[in-house]
Amino acid sequence: MNVTLTSILSHPIAQKYVKRAGLAHAVACAYHAFEIALERNVDPELACKAAFLHDIGHYTWYKNGKWDYSLYKENDIHAIKGAERAHKLLIRLGEDPVIAKEIALAVLLHTDSYIPGQLITRTPLQDVVARADEVDEEPGGNHHYRMISDERAHKMLAKLDERILLFHKKSEKQLS
C-alpha cells in the first residue's frame, strides 16, 4: 500500500477539507466501504480511500450568516471539486497515478446531485463509495456534524489500514 489512510488523514489538506465536511462521517464511510467492497469483490483499499475522501470538496452555503441546506442542495458541486482535490492530494502523497485517478472518479461519481437528469452508470468501485455514503447519511445533512476526536479517527483508520494490509496478504497467498 503506497499511501495509507492514516497518511491521508495526517496531510494538512485532508485536515482542512475532510474535517470541514465531517471527519466522523468520512471515517464511518471508509468502514462501510470496506465491508461493502468485500461483499462485492471490489478492492477495499481503493474503496476505503475514496469513501474517506468522498466529501473533500464540500464547502458551506450560508445565507444571512446561517447554514442554508436548501441553497446547498440547489447549487452543490462538491463532488466535482472533491475529485480534483482528492486526486491532487493522493499524487502529492505518492499514490500510483492510475489508482489516484480511479479514486478521484469514485469521488466524482459518489453522488448524482450535480447532474441534470441524474443519470449515472457507475463502476463497481464507484457504486461501493456511493452506497457507503448512503448508509451513513442522516436527514438534513446532519451526518456532516457528528464529532470525533483526531486521536480516535487516527486509531480507527490505523485499524482499517491493518485490515486492508491483511486483505492484500491473503489475496497474494491465494494467487501463489
Q: What is the pLDDT of residues 56-68, one digit of tens each?
A: 987 766 667 666 6
Q: What is the pLDDT of residues 8-26, one digit of tens each?
A: 999 999 999 999 888 999 9
Which range is least confidently modeled, 41-45, 77-81, 132-136? 77-81
Give residues with Cβ within 8 angstroms of 106, minimum separation 6: 46, 47, 50, 54, 123, 125, 126, 128, 129
Sequence-ordered alpha helix ranges (H) in 54-96: 69-75, 78-93
Chain centre to alpha carbon of residue 7:
14
Q: What is the pLDDT of residues 100-141, one digit of tens each?
A: 999 999 999 987 766 766 678 899 999 999 999 989 887 777
The DSSP line for 27-40 is HHHHHHHHHHHHHH
Cβ pair 127, 106 in contact under 8 A = no
pLDDT at 29: 97
Domains within the chain, CATH numbers bracketed? 5-175 (1.10.3210)
